[in-house]
């Protein structure tokens, strides 16, 4: 995961996050890492991985889409995270085939 970028979109309310996650996955070649997480107080977040340009484009698209349906609390891309960051992130789903 060290060579891949990480993006995190956090919104207030699930509807906004689902719309944002849909836009992120359609906007660029990124993968959703694990299930969406509930942070508390109506805050939910989704984590994506991919190359730096794809993650930045996806986060921008996701934040724009989510803001149409609710409040975007945070939208951030981490270009080259330290490999230990993977320990606190949701796991990527296993590849089929």
Q: Which domain holds residue 41?
A: 5-86
The angle formed by the CA atoms of residues 62, 54 and 43, to the nearest 5 degrees, is 30
Helix, coil or strand: residue 24: helix
What pLDDT is recorded for position 2? 47
Report if residue 38 sits inside a domain. yes
Report residue 93's pLDDT band, with 50, 70 and 90 as the boundaries: low
Domain assignment present for residue 97? The answer is no
Residue 77 lies in a domain: yes
Query: Model-level pTM?
Result: 0.86
- Is 35 part of any domain? yes
Provide the CATH number for the domain around residue 37: 3.30.70.1710
In a domain, 32, yes or no: yes
Please give the tally of structural domains in the chain.
Answer: 1
Instruction: Provide the 3-class DSSP secondary structure of residue 97.
Output: coil
Could you tell me if residue 92 is inside a domain?
A: no
Whole-number pLDDT of residue 36: 79
pLDDT for the residue 4: 87
d(CA 43, CA 72): 9
Residue 85 and residue 57: Cα distance in Å, rounded?
A: 21
pLDDT score of 43: 92
């Amino acid at each position: 995961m060290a060579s891949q970028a990480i993006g995190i979109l956090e919104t207030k309310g699930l509807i906004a996050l689902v719309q944002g996650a849909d836009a992120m996955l359609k906007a660029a070649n990124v993968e959703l890492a694990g299930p969406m997480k509930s942070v508390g107080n109506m805050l939910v977040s989704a984590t994506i991985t991919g190359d730096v340009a794809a993650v930045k484009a996806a986060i921008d698209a996701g934040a724009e889409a989510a803001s149409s349906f609710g409040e975007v609390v945070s939208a951030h891309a981490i270009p080259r995270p330290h490999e230990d960051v993977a320990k606190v992130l949701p796991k990527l789903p296993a590849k089929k085939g």
